[in-house]
Chains A and B, each alone.
Chain A
Amino acid sequence: MHIVTRPDGNALVVHVLESRIDAAVAIQFKDAMRARVAQAPERVVLDLSQVDFIDSSGLGAVVAMMKLLAPARRLELAGLTPTVEKVFRLTHMDRVFTIHPAPPAPPDPDRRCAG
């Protein structure tokens, strides 16, 4: 699971550098996220601009992450691609999350590392 994190003010930006968050990787995604947000500040912004596809398992993993962070910290989403946006909309999860239309600045290439 290729995930890169970057502090940004009072937020931790988490770039998911995978094309899919689906049933095949939902558990890995949750584990990787759990490790990275352990010390996160009050806001975690999940950059999904590289994710073309999410299924119900992936959606469940994102919801689980939001619940893990709550109530002290909140999970926000950014850069939803059309199919991902559709899945959030059809399940009404678009009303649950703060969703930023534009993706955050991409990760510094020098600091990229596989996770």
Chain B
Amino acid sequence: MTLHMNEQALDRTPDFHRHFQGRFLEVRGVLAELRGSLTRYGPVCCDVATTEIVLAEVLNNIVEHGYQGTAGPVELRVWADSAGLTFVVIDAGAPLPGGQPPARDARCLPDDPDALPESGFGWHLIHSLTEGLEYETQLGRNRLRGRVPAHRRHGGTRLS
């Protein structure tokens, strides 16, 4: 099933393109395929580990919150070039609360271990590792687009 949206598509065919059911194990499988695919571009394009962290959070969010355990269709498109990696993820689950990604928070950790959060790390990771996040929801379709730049100030390890 293809989820069509009024998107301003990038002007070339994605380097990686999958339709799959939103389940945790399917996300795992797609991420493994993407890893294999990105390795072909090697150091020119992407920090493969960073990309996997970001897309694991984006896709598992859809499984957990968008579809809430009832698997539905997910589409992932990825474009890789020397400046980094652009992704578009489309789903037909519940939209993000407020119709937009949670704001980036400057997380201050409490001193009391009992007060430490056990969730909410996902969007923090996505915000930390991406740029140009754009979200839109219309006609029952949600679309998130973002970029994982090739050179991160966090200095992630790059796969050779």
Contact = CB atoms under 8 A, between A and B. Distances in A.
A22 B56 contact: yes
Which of under 10, 10 to 19, 20 to 34, or 35 or more describes the interface residues of A? 20 to 34
Interface of B: 24-25, 27-28, 49-50, 52-53, 56-57, 60, 63-64, 107, 109, 113-114, 116-122, 124-125, 128-129, 154, 156-157
A22 B27 CA distance: 10
A44 to B, nearest CB: 14
Contacts of A59: 121
B122 A63 contact: no
A55 B57 contact: yes
B52 A90 contact: no
Contacts of B49: 53, 82-83, 86
A70 interface: yes
Interface string A43-63: 000000000010111011101
Contact of A90 (B113, B117, B120, B129): B129
Nearest to A86: B156
Contacts of B60: 22-23, 55-57
A20 interface: yes
B96 to A, nearest CB: 16
A31 B79 CA distance: 39
A77 to B, nearest CB: 14
Nearest to B126: A56
A96 interface: yes
A22 B107 CA distance: 22
A90 B27 contact: no
A66 interface: yes
